[in-house]
């Protein structure tokens, strides 16, 4: 028989999580960590498991209940937002920008960015580059 933590006993029967103050503290910790480490290619749910001490499935459920997004969706949105900022504010090559935000495979970065924005990084930059004085 597996012993559960107090937090895990707050899970409703249908698998839904009541976001209590304890849950919000956990989510705040996870979000703070993601926002500080989004550029690390090895950032994963397992990283959040390590910092919270909770199970993988529980971390996934709490995160999704709080953000309405999976960890992967949230991290991808954050990374692509940073990419868009860097594309419009710097002259760094797109491949370097991808590396800066945690994409180690340039082909995957280009395909994912196009899927997310509908444009290649270079086309996005061309259409959205901020004017320099």
State pLDDT tens for residues 1-17: 333 333 333 333 334 55
State pLDDT tens for residues 26-58: 999 999 999 999 999 999 999 999 999 999 999
Which residues pair with residue 11 across a beta bridge? Answer: 17
Rounded CA-CA distance 4/111 in Å is 41
| Residue 82 burial (C-beta neighbours within 10 Å; 0-12, 13-18, 19+) | middle
Q: Could you tell me where in the chain the CATH 1.10.10.60 domains are found? A: 74-128
CATH of domain 74-128: 1.10.10.60
| Residue 34 burial (C-beta neighbours within 10 Å; 0-12, 13-18, 19+) | buried
Contact between 83 and 113 (Cβ < 8 Å) = yes
pTM exceeding the 0.85 threshold for the entire prediction: no
């Amino acid at each position: 028989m597996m012993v559960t933590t107090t937090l895990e006993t707050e899970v409703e029967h249908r698998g839904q999580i009541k976001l209590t103050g304890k849950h919000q503290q956990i989510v705040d910790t996870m979000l703070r960590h993601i926002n500080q480490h989004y550029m690390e290619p090895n950032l994963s749910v397992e990283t959040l498991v390590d910092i919270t001490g909770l199970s993988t499935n529980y971390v996934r459920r709490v995160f999704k209940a709080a953000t309405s997004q999976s960890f992967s969706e949230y991290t991808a949105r954050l990374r692509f937002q940073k990419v868009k900022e860097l594309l419009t504010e710097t002259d760094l090559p797109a491949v370097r920008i991808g590396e800066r935000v945690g994409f180690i495979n340039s082909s995957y970065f280009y395909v994912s960015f196009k899927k997310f924005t509908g444009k290649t990084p270079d086309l996005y930059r061309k259409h959205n580059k901020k004017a320099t004085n």
